[in-house]
Chains A and B, each alone.
Chain A
Amino acid sequence: MPAIVSVQNLRKAYAGGFEALKSVNLDIEDGEILALLGPNGAGKTTLISTICGITVPTSGSITVGGHDTQTDFRAARKLIGLVPQEINLEPFETVFNTVSFSRGLFGKPRDEAKVEAILKQLSLHDKKDNKIMMLSGGMKRRVLIAKALAHEPQVLFLDEPTAGVDVELRKDMWDVVAGLKASGVTIILTTHYIEEAEAIADRIGVISKGEILLVQDKADLMAQMGRKQIQIELAQAVDDIPDALKSYALERADDGLSLIYSYDTTGERTGITTLLNDLQKTGLQMKDLQTRQSSLEDIFVDLVKETA
């Protein structure tokens, strides 16, 4: 699939010298949902702000739909909708006027039917004449999404859409995102929640300290998660893996006091039974046995720790 957003060697350094983004390269495919995971201060918001034109890049280039965000900013920005992290709304305006304002600002002619349709899509229609300040936090977040969708963008950035949102509303938000994807919108969302990335993303990117550490298909990551490990604790340490067990690709750990066996839970045969049988034949004494599963969280924490 072609990239609808392409970020090349993007660098952002602030006046004080702080480097928020260090040579970021990222291609976002048309129609996908990409989740950007990262700890606080990783550069998620800076990356989004730079693509959307709120922050000026120090160097590098960004294209959206083939349009450079600096030299051809009008064409590029028309394709983009942004839902910011903070709830920034004009409190005294009505929902309808606020959403109409966004549509006009992005150069689209006034179209009440279109705005009403967007409000319906986000279950905001019955609140359309309410002032923003009368709405609950969850409703305000929906208004932010409605504003971002008002000009019918092809790419939607959601900066932590479910931060501080209760479980029920979070599920609602995921449904909204799924609906948008179905209508052909490319979605990039940043999140702290790994389960959120698991639930809705097609691909997952991990960002830390201004660098993209990994961008991978969720399915591939899940396959990694599907790997399990058995740790066999031995009564006596071994200097080397016994020849009889060499075919199992075991790893020595704890100075030879443990052997670790990794296997694929999705495979038909895990090889555990034969391993244990062969282990018995070598005469090694087993003290304890434990299994553990690597999670996306482990992968994430490991990746982030490596760069720390």
Chain B
Amino acid sequence: MNFNAVWTIYIFEMRRFFRTMTQSIVSPVLSTSLYFVVFGTAIGSRIQEVEGTSYGAFIVPGLIMLTVMTQATSNASFGIYFPKFIGTIYELLSAPVSFLEIVAGYVGAAATKAMFIGVIILITSFFFVDISIAHPLAMVAFLTLTCISFALLGFIIGIWAGNFEQLQLIPLLVITPLVFLGGSFYSISMLPPIWQSITLFNPVVYLISGFRWSFFGTADVSIGLSLFAIALFTGACLAFIWWIFKTGWRIRQ
């Protein structure tokens, strides 16, 4: 294992993040605040409570998930797409590193950045709502797993993308709708029965449900199922990345 290489990639990627530190923090804080104003205050004043939790607090886990998933995906996809775009990928391909090490460096950095932003949103939410975390360890575990799995997905998108439009395509067309429809801002039990069944095909439902459980102890689906779903998703991403490096798809001719 070339740990020096993993660490080098990780630090190099994190440096990019810290170079744009202000933007990295200001934009999620601003957008979270806007969500609290719109959903929490304006709509929340009419909804009152969901499953025994005030609506403002109820949306916190969903909000964090929404941002973390988008950030992890876009950071990782950009991280590996950029060397492809500017041509510095030649160095990664000619270096004594395995696919696992490249993935660990890029995905590790993207997941760390997403995690960092997730924590900032959590801190921001303390200013708006009264919130307590029932299962802090589970919360951290869910957050970490989500960051890693979506960073893996982002890595795949970055390898696949042939231009900047494609880089935005999947986050915009797939992830955002799935997250919005995955119960970020509502409980699935609030939907008509037919939509409740359809929603169960949305993998994001399981992640948000599990994450919300770690806050409030209540969930749309069982916690075991949530864990299984996230493990399945992570495994699928890893398998696909393994295949990419095995075949050299889109990177090595």
Contact = CB atoms under 8 A, between A and B. Distances in A.
A106 B5 contact: yes
Nearest to B82: A90
Interface residues of B, number: 28
Which of B2, B93, B94 has most chain A Cβ within 10 Å?
Answer: B94
A56 B248 contact: yes
Contact of A54 (B8, B96, B252): B252
Contact of A101 (B8, B87, B93, B253): B8
Nearest to B251: A54
A91 B94 contact: no
B91 A147 contact: yes
Contacts of A164: none
B120 to A, nearest CB: 24
Nearest to A75: B96
Given A86-B87, A97-B12, A54 B5 contact: no
B46 interface: no
B250 interface: no
B253 A55 contact: yes
Interface residues of A, number: 35
B90 A105 contact: no
Interface stretch (A77-85, A188-196, A221-229): A77-85
A78 B94 contact: no
A92 B19 contact: yes
Contacts of B9: 104-105
B86 interface: yes
Contacts of B83: 90
Nearest to B8: A104
Interface in A129-155: 147
A131 B82 CA distance: 17
B7 interface: yes
Given A77-B95, A90-B83, A107-B4, 13 more contacts: A52-B94, A74-B98, A84-B87, A97-B15, A100-B8, A104-B7, A104-B8, A105-B5, A105-B8, A105-B91, A106-B95, A107-B5, A108-B4
Interface of B: 2, 4-5, 7-9, 11-12, 15-16, 19, 82-83, 86-88, 90-98, 248, 252-253
27 contacts: A14-B253, A52-B94, A54-B253, A55-B252, A56-B248, A56-B252, A73-B96, A77-B95, A82-B90, A82-B94, A86-B87, A88-B86, A88-B88, A88-B90, A90-B88, A92-B19, A93-B15, A101-B12, A104-B4, A104-B5, A104-B9, A106-B5, A106-B95, A107-B4, A107-B97, A110-B4, A147-B91
Nearest 6 pairs between A and B by C-beta? Answer: A104-B8, A88-B87, A74-B96, A77-B96, A52-B94, A105-B95
